[in-house]
Structure 1
Amino acid sequence: MPKVTEYQPGMACWLDLASPDIEASKRFYRELFGWSSYTITQDAFADYEVFTLGGADGPTTSGLHMLADETQPPSWTVYFRVVDVEETGRAVTAAGGRELVMPMLGMHLGRVAMYSDLEGADFAVWQPFGDEGMEIPREPTSMCWVELASRDIHGARRFYGDVFGWRTVDREYYSAAPYTEWRIDGEQVGGGMAFMDERWPPHWNAHWTPYFWVTDCDATVWKAAELGARVVIPPTDIRPGRFATIIDPIGARLAMITPDPSAEI
């Protein structure tokens, strides 16, 4: 599998998991996806775990770190590639978003910051010095898609267009409502939909969910359940393939999909 060494600005380039129990998270994802990992030791911050495929020296898939504090919920955070973190931050605040973590060094590897959109969906941005991000996106057991669950998808379309220059394409992936696909220079970035209707608790923020490519959605979901995950949406057929969403044993949300070979993802 060829490694990805460069990401276009605006593309999802990395993701990491904030966990209250590093060892439990490592066990779960190693068992579920066959990942390995290695540890980056930092003087000023807590250690950072890097998940890989095919052994510790294999291509990188994602990261893992401890929760910042007890008020932070366990979650996967999606990172988008940018040219200039500070410039992106100004675009976020001008569009009505909020700064959550001010621009800072991400170890010796680049600059990072975290923001939230108009509805409180958080995301991170990455300005690399060298390594651009995950080395095998859109491959089995790696991230292949990112999706925004929103109450106001029209507001989200304006916000992310202003911040990242994304353009929208309307899709019909679900029968319930239109689906927004985001692109930059014709390349797919991710999608979004007004999933969050009156049935959702009002205190739940909009959120980004990473999708992981699996070769057998049903088998992977039931394995996840055996390992302690909670199934939120059981394996279901949609136009791009067969997907499901789960909450992992420490409380982080993720989705899995077995793509339809004839579908674009």
Structure 2
Amino acid sequence: MKMTDYVPGTPCWVDLMTTDLDGAKAFYGGLFGWTAQVADDPAAGGYVLFELDGVQAAGGMKTMSADQPTAWSTYVAVTDADATMAKATAAGAQPIVAPMDVTDVGRMAMFADPTGAILGLWQPRSMKGAGVVNEPGALTWDELNTRDAAAAKTFYAAAFGWTAETSAMGEGMEYTELQVDGRTVAGLMEMDDEHFPKETPPHWAVYFGVADCDASVAKVGALGGTVVVPTTPIPPGWFAVCQDPQGGFFSLFEAKEPAGAAS
């Protein structure tokens, strides 16, 4: 699906901070068919735009310090990064990157929510966000994994006006859909020690679409990555959790055929 704009409060972009940008280009290019274009403006600091069939799908940049781990970040579209950052801080967030202009393409900021998960804000100018979503090789889902779902729901309601629709998913676990005006924009799951290692910090997980989860999982291994959770069925389809060769976590998602599609 091609995108030209995002409703405020909707996740709109993901990017990768990596210890090995050339390695990331090779890995994700091999896995998703991405090509890497370095941003033209020297002020962008070598920021890379990963493109899927010529359309911006995600971003990437080399880590800025030796102790910074490889990680994917999610950004939520906002109309005013400064005002939203102030609202988030008042609700208990810890600022990480103060609102700042990113050349002439937009304005960004980052914070850690009260449960410890890091999230970015994106106030668009010429760059609205990912130009393609919800298809193989593109972002399909953003999900908050936290150890305090109640605190997270309260915080994001204050910061973005998100409402929470929670339902049982079996084995004593629940899944929450985070919504803007009744439209689901992201997910939330409370981590427990049975399904998540104790050392796993709260985080925003990113999911990329694939046409065949099993085939993509095999490709992850062939390209030097690691499969953390193998292909697993869920009501909308199948998912797997992986790590790239530099240690960055990401997930794959294969959707079931739409209702009424030919079998």
What TM-score, normalized by structure 1, do the two folds share?
A: 0.93
Three-state SS of the structure 1 residue aligned to 2:132 is coil
Match of 1:60 in 2: 56
For 2:240 and 2:35, how far apart are their aligned partners in 1?
A: 24
Q: Cα 1:210–1:200, aligned 2, differ >3 Å: closer, same or farther?
A: closer
Residue aligning to 2:21: 22
Counterpart among 90, 98, 104 of residue 102 in structure 1: 98
- CA distance 1:174–1:226, shift in 2 (3 Å): farther
**Unaligned stretches of 5+ residues in structure 1:** none
- Decide which of 122, 133, 147 is 2:118's aligned counterpart: 122
Say whether residues 1:244 and 2:240 are aligned partners.
yes
User: Structure 2 matches for 1:152-167, cutoff 5 A?
Assistant: 152-167=148-163
Taking only the aligned residue pairs, the percentage that are identical comes to: 38
- Supply the AA of the counterpart residue of 2:244: D
SS at the partner of 2:158?
Answer: helix
Aligned-residue Cα RMSD (Å) equals: 1.7
Q: Which residue in the other structure is 1:34 paired with? A: 33
2:4 maps to what in 1?
5
Bigger Cα displacement from structure 2, 177-186 vs 254-263: 254-263
Where do 1:1-265 residues align within 5 Å?
3-54=2-53, 58-173=54-169, 175-197=171-193, 204-262=200-258
- How far, CA to CA, are the matches of 2:137 and 2:182 in structure 1? 25
Whether the aligned pair in 2 keeps the contact of 1:120 and 1:205 (CA below 8 Å) is yes
In the comparison of the two structures, how many residue pairs are matched?
A: 259
Counterpart code for 1:31: G
The answer (yes or no) to whether the contact 2:44–2:102 under 8 Å persists in 1 is no
- Partners of 2:104 and 2:126 within 8 A in 1: no
Hey, what's the Cα distance between the residues in 2 that align with 1:84 and 1:224?
38
1:47 is matched by which residue type in structure 2?
G
Q: How far apart, in 2, do the equivalents of 1:8 and 1:163 lie?
A: 15
